[in-house]
Every structure is written in C-alpha cells, then in structure tokens.
C-alpha cells in the first residue's frame, strides 16, 4: 500500500453496494482523502469487523456444542441471523477496504461479491419477521407451539427466506447479461451496484420489491408486538415471559428501522454530499458505520446477553469453562433412590 491512491472521484461507494436507491446516472464525485484519514478509517473498520467476528464465531461455537440449541426453532433462527450478519459485514467491510486499495476490480468478481451482499442484507428483515412470529406463537399459542414451531418447519422457513432474497439479485444478473455486451463482464470496474447493474429497469424493479417486502416485514412486527402486548396485559401468570417477548419484538423493530436505512441511504448520502462536498468522504464513512456496522451489534445483544439460557453457556465458553455434565450412571442412581 505504497500511497493508498487518493481517489479523484469515488462513486457512490462500495459501502452502499447492497441496494440501488439511486438511478444508474446518480454517481457522486467525492473529494480526495488523505493517506492518514484513509488509513485510520480502514483500521477502525477492520477492528470493528474483527471484534464482531470474534463475538459471532463464539456464538456459533456455543450453539453447535449444545444440542438443546439446535433442537429449538428459536435458536435456529437466531444463529441463522448471526451467520447472515457475519457474512454481510465481512463482504461490506472487504469492499470498503478494497475501494481504497484498488480503484477497479474484475466485473465478474464484483458481481459475485455484490450479489452475495445483496442477498445477506435483504435476508435480515425477513429473518427478523420470522423470529417475531416465533415469539408471537410462543406467547399467544403456547399449547400449539410444539406443533406449529418445529425444527423441519423452521429450516423450510429459512430456506424460503433465502430463496426469496436471492430472486432480486438473480434477476439483476439476468437483465445485465441480456442488456450488457459480453466484454463488459471481462472489464475492470469500480465495484458498485449502480455501476455493475446499469439498466434503469433494474432500479425500478428493486424499488417495487423493496417497498413491498419491507412493508410486509414492518406490518408483521407491528402485529406481533401488539398481540404480545395484549397477551401480557391479560395474562395472570407468565407475565414476565410475555414482557420479555414484547421487548424482544420491540428490539427487532429497532433493528428493522436500522436495516431500512440501507434502502434510503444512497439518496440521502448523495444529497448531503452535494450540499457539503468537502465532507463527502466523512459522510460516506458515517453512513457506512451507521447502516452496515452498528445494526450488526444488535443480534448479540438481543439473544447473546438478554437470553438467560444462551448467556449461561456463552459466558462459560468465553471464560473457557465447560458446563457441568451429569453422568448417566449417576443420574440413574439418583432416579432409583427417589
């Protein structure tokens, strides 16, 4: 990294790769960034990625070590969220750093990275809706929970979510293959969604899809929150669990609002940069942290710290202590003595 070539013009930026909120011609020129500023920003981004990667990997390890978690639909949805967030953050951070080191990369490589980032970013709201529905069923239909929320059904739901979120990037690629000349995918480009998928039909298609499915997720969270709140007020017993479920869904709502920023941030960012062109790179960096990094901390908070059962095993793993295990022979002896 001899000089971290300061960009004379940086398009919308790789940190905004997940969605097209601007038409293809909406590229914005940014001012130069000094070597010191660029180095500091990338070091901070990498350190945040490293901290979150350690947290997420410890959660996945804790989940896999104990069968009570991967036999529970609630924790299966949670760990899918953790893995999805970890992959999304890794891709966005990598593209952010690459945008400072290399001005252009091969279009086919950029296509693979962006399509994966689009899939993982769009999966988050639908996973939130699925987790909210699970909490709603557990509180409002406790006697039917075992029949409605099973491991096979949960896995099918997760598969449907990823299939739905894979459809938009797949159609983006199909339109690009039809509209773009073959040599385009062998060229080197600045890796940005609007520069890779340039046809205006892609922009309008994604606007319709994003509006429809975000509305569905928002309505699902509002409905489940209201139902759980009513159940908590009416319940004479189990009030604490209903209150915890209500707070969990409320946190999912906060998570969703932060995720929704990804749909509007390119337009807002472009407007702010046009008003304050000298602060363009700082605005870009703030939005990168606010939209793509900070929401990734909420999944560990919602289940890693708030869930008593998971926290017990997770803290034991972090402190390098194995949970106490009951030997079968001792257990049989105790049962016979009762």
Q: Which of 2-6, 97-101, 269-273 has the lowest mean pLDDT?
A: 2-6
DSSP 232-274: HHH-SS-HHHHHHHHHHHHHHHHHHHHHHHHHHHHHHHHHHHH
The confidence band for 27, taking pLDDT boundaries of 50, 70 and 90, is very low
**pLDDT given for residue 21 in this prediction:** 37
Measured distance CA(298)–CA(103) in Å, rounded = 32
Both tokens of residue 311?
């926290």
Average pLDDT over residues 259-276: 74
Q: Residue 288: name the closest of 41, 7, 34, 33 by CA.
A: 41
Give the single-character DSSP code of 323.
P
Half-sphere exposure at residue 45, Cβ-oriented, CA atoms within 13 angstroms:
27
The confidence band for 334, taking pLDDT boundaries of 50, 70 and 90, is very low
Please check the confidence at residue 277 and state whether its pLDDT lies above 90. no
Q: Residue 66: name the closest of 53, 54, 79 by CA.
A: 79
Measured distance CA(100)–CA(6) in Å, rounded = 8
Measured distance CA(210)–CA(80) in Å, rounded = 21
36 burial (CB, 10 Å; 0-12 / 13-18 / 19+) is exposed
Residue-wise pLDDT for 211-236, tens only, equals 888 888 888 888 888 887 777 777 65
Which residues on adjacent β-strands are paired with residue 189?
Answer: 105
Measured distance CA(228)–CA(138) in Å, rounded = 10
Please check the confidence at residue 4 and state whether its pLDDT lies above 50. no
Average pLDDT over residues 90-107: 82
Rg of the chain over CA atoms, in angstroms?
Answer: 23
Measured distance CA(280)–CA(10) in Å, rounded = 10
Both tokens of residue 229?
């709140």
Half-sphere exposure at residue 291, Cβ-oriented, CA atoms within 13 angstroms:
24
Helix locations, the chain, DSSP H: 35-65, 67-70, 73-101, 107-140, 145-148, 151-179, 193-196, 200-234, 239-275, 280-287, 298-299, 308-318, 328-337
Average pLDDT over residues 284-309: 75
Measured distance CA(260)–CA(256) in Å, rounded = 6
The confidence band for 152, taking pLDDT boundaries of 50, 70 and 90, is very high
Cβ pair 193, 20 in contact under 8 A: yes
Local structure of 188: helix, strand or coil: strand
- Please report where in the chains the tokens 């994966």 appear, as a residue: 116
Which residues on adjacent β-strands are paired with residue 105?
Answer: 189
pTM of the predicted model as reported, rounded to 2 decimal places: 0.78
Measured distance CA(323)–CA(329) in Å, rounded = 18
**pLDDT given for residue 239 in this prediction:** 59
Local structure of 25: helix, strand or coil: coil
CATH architecture of 14-323: Up-down Bundle (1.20)
């Amino acid at each position: 990294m001899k000089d971290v070539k300061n960009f004379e013009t940086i398009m919308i930026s790789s940190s905004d790769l997940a969605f097209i909120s601007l038409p293809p011609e909406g590229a914005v020129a940014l001012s130069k960034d000094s070597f010191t500023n660029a180095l500091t920003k990338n070091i901070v981004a990498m350190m945040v990625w490293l901290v979150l990667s350690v947290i997420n990997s410890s959660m996945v390890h804790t989940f896999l070590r104990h069968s009570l978690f991967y036999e529970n639909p609630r924790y299966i949805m949670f760990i899918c969220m953790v893995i999805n967030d970890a992959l999304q953050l890794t891709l966005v951070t990598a593209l952010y750093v690459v945008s400072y080191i290399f001005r252009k990369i091969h279009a086919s490589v950029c296509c693979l990275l962006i399509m994966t980032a689009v899939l993982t970013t769009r999966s988050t709201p639908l996973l939130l809706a699925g987790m909210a529905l699970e909490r709603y069923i557990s509180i409002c239909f406790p006697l039917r929970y075992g029949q409605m929320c099973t491991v096979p059904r949960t896995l099918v739901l997760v598969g449907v979510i990823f299939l739905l979120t894979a459809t938009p990037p797949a159609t983006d690629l199909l339109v690009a293959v039809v509209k773009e000349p073959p040599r385009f995918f062998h060229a080197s480009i600045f890796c940005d969604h609007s520069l890779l998928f340039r046809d205006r039909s892609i922009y309008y298609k994604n606007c319709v899809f994003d509006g429809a499915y975000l509305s569905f997720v928002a309505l699902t969270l509002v409905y489940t929150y209201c139902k759980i709140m009513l159940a908590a007020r009416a319940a004479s017993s189990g009030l604490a669990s209903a209150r915890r479920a209500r707070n969990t869904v409320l946190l999912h709502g906060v998570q969703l609002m932060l995720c929704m920023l990804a749909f509007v941030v390119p337009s807002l960012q472009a407007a702010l940069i046009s008003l304050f062109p000298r602060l363009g790179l700082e605005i870009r960096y703030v939005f990168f942290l606010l939209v793509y990094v900070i929401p990734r901390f909420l999944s560990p908070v919602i289940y890693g710290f708030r869930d008593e059962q998971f926290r017990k095993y997770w803290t034991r793993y972090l402190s390098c202590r194995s949970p106490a295990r009951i030997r079968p022979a001792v257990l049989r002896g105790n049962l016979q003595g009762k």
